[in-house]
C-alpha cells in the first residue's frame, strides 16, 4: 500500500493535470495539426469511405481540376486547412481513413456532410462530431499511448471542499475529485499541436432548412448545436490541447445554393451585397452564441490558447473586396461549376454530373459548386483569418 506521502504527491500531480491544462502560450512551434469538421475541411475521408457509386462527383474531375487531379476535396483545388498547414511549414493533412500514409504532422478527421449532433434517425449514416472525436481519441491512444494499463480508468485522488474540477462526486458528504488518467505522451504531443474543432454545425442547419423547415424552426437547434461543439472542445482541452481554434458559420445567405432554393421576389429580402438577410441573421445568431461559449472556455481553461475563427465577417470582407482580389465582380454569387440559372446552381444537377460544366477560370469565382468555395477563395479566406484580424485572439505565429 502506498504511503500517505506518496499518495499526496500523486494527488497533487493529478490535480495539476486537471486544473492546469494546456501550455501553448509560449509561442512554441506547432508540430502537428489535428482537424475535425465537415466538407469545408475534408481532404478525402468521405471519398475513401463512401461505397462505389456514392458521392462519385467529388472523386472525379472537374473536382480537383486546379490541383491537377481529384483528391476528395470539395473544391477545384486546395482548402483553407491546406493553406494553413503550408503557411505553418507543415505538409498537407492526410485524411484519417487513408491507408499507408503519414500522420507524422497531423491528421484530418473531417468528413464532408458531417453534422455536429448525432442524427435523430440512426439509420442515416452521418459522420457526426462524436464519431470524429472517437477517431481522434483512438488515434492518439494507438499512436502515443501503448500502455493499456491505467488509461481506461477513473480513480480517486484527493478529497476537496471547493472543487475546481467538474469531475467530482459526493460520497458520504465528502466531495471526491476524480481525474481521467491521460498518458503524458498524449498530453506532450497535444501541447505542441494545433486542434481545429470545425467548422461544423452548418450541415445540421442545412439538412433542416433544405428539409423544408422554416428559419424560425431551425433556430431552435442553435443552443444544442453550439453545446455539442463546446463539449467536444472541452474533451480536446482535457486531453491536453494547448492551442484550439473553433470556427463559426458562414453567411449562408450569400451562397448560390441558398440564393437559388430560397429566392424571394421581394427586393427587401436582400441586403446591399445581394445576400438573403434572414439566413445571414440566422447564421449570425449561431455565431454569437458560439462566441460567448468560446469566451467561457477561455475562463475555464486559462492556460490554453483558444481562438474563434470568424468565417462570417471574413467572407463578407472577401465579397466586398472581390474585384481588388482578382475575382469577377459579376460572379461573386455564381457557382463556377453547375447547370445554369441565375446562380448557376441546380440541386438536381450538381457539379460533376452529366449536363453540368465548370467555368474556364475557377480563380475568378468565389463559389466552386454553389456550396463550397474555389481554391482561390479559400486561399484568400485563409489569409484573412489566420494572418489577419478574423482570428480572435491571434494565437498563431508563422515561420519566416
Catalytic residue numbers read 39, 369, 372
| Helix, strand, coil fractions of the chain, as percent rounded to 5 | 40, 15, 50
CB atoms < 10 A from the CB of 30, how many?
Answer: 23
Pairing state of beta strands 243-247 and 305-309? Answer: parallel
Q: What is the rounded distance in angstroms from the CA atom of residue 142 to the CA atom of residue 60? A: 33
CA angle 57, 39, 310 (to 5 degrees): 145
Q: What is the rounded distance in angstroms from the CA atom of residue 190 to the CA atom of residue 299? A: 20
Residue of 70, 79, 126, 72 whose CA lies nearest to 97: 72
Beta carbons of 44 and 14 less than 8 angstroms apart = no
Q: What kind and span of H or E run contains 240?
A: none
Distance of CA 12 to the CA centre of its chain: 35
C-alpha cell at 170: 459526493
- Give the orientation angle of helix 129-144 with respect to helix 222-238, to 10 degrees: 10
Residue with cell 477545384: 76
Amino acid at each position: 500500500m502506498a504511503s500517505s506521502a506518496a499518495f499526496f504527491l500523486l494527488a497533487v500531480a493529478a490535480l495539476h493535470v486537471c486544473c492546469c491544462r494546456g501550455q501553448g502560450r509560449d509561442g512554441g512551434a506547432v508540430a502537428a495539426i489535428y482537424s475535425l469538421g465537415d466538407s469545408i475541411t475534408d481532404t478525402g475521408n468521405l471519398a475513401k469511405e463512401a461505397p462505389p457509386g456514392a458521392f462519385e462527383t467529388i472523386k472525379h474531375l472537374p473536382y480537383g481540376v486546379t490541383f491537377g487531379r481529384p483528391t476528395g476535396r470539395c473544391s477545384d483545388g486546395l482548402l483553407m486547412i491546406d493553406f494553413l498547414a503550408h503557411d505553418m511549414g507543415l505538409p498537407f493533412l492526410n485524411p484519417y481513413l487513408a491507408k499507408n500514409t503519414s500522420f507524422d504532422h497531423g491528421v484530418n478527421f473531417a468528413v464532408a456532410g458531417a453534422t455536429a449532433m448525432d442524427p435523430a434517425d440512426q439509420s442515416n449514416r452521418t459522420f457526426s462530431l462524436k464519431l470524429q472525436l472517437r477517431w481522434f481519441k483512438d488515434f492518439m491512444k494507438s499512436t502515443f499511448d501503448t500502455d493499456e494499463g491505467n488509461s481506461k480508468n477513473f480513480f480517486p485522488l484527493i478529497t476537496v471542499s471547493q472543487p475546481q474540477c467538474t469531475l467530482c462526486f459526493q460520497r458520504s458528504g465528502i466531495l471526491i475529485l476524480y481525474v481521467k488518467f491521460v498518458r503524458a505522451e498524449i498530453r506532450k504531443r497535444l501541447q505542441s499541436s494545433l486542434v481545429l474543432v470545425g467548422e461544423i454545425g452548418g450541415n445540421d442547419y442545412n439538412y433542416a432548412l433544405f428539409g423544408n423547415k422554416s428559419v424560425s424552426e431551425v433556430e431552435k437547434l442553435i443552443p444544442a448545436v453550439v453545446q455539442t461543439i463546446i463539449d467536444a472542445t472541452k474533451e480536446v482541452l482535457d486531453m491536453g490541447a494547448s492551442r484550439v481554434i473553433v470556427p463559426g458559420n458562414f453567411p449562408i445567405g450569400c451562397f448560390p445554393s441558398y440564393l437559388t432554393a430560397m429566392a424571394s421576389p421581394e427586393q427587401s429580402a436582400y441586403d446591399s451585397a445581394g445576400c438573403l438577410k434572414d439566413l445571414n441573421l440566422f447564421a449570425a445568431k449561431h455565431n454569437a452564441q458560439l462566441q460567448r461559449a468560446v469566451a467561457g472556455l477561455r475562463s475555464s481553461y486559462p492556460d490554453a490558447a483558444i481562438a474563434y475563427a470568424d468565417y462570417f465577417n471574413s467572407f463578407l470582407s472577401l465579397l466586398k473586396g472581390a474585384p481588388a482580389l482578382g475575382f469577377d465582380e459579376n460572379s461573386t454569387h455564381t457557382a463556377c461549376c453547375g447547370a445554369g440559372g441565375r446562380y448557376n446552381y441546380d440541386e438536381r444537377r450538381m457539379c460533376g454530373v452529366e449536363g453540368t460544366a465548370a467555368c474556364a477560370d475557377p480563380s475568378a469565382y468565389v463559389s466552386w459548386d454553389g456550396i463550397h468555395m474555389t481554391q482561390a477563395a479559400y486561399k484568400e479566406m485563409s489569409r484573412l483569418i489566420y494572418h489577419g484580424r478574423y482570428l480572435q485572439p491571434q494565437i498563431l505565429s508563422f515561420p519566416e
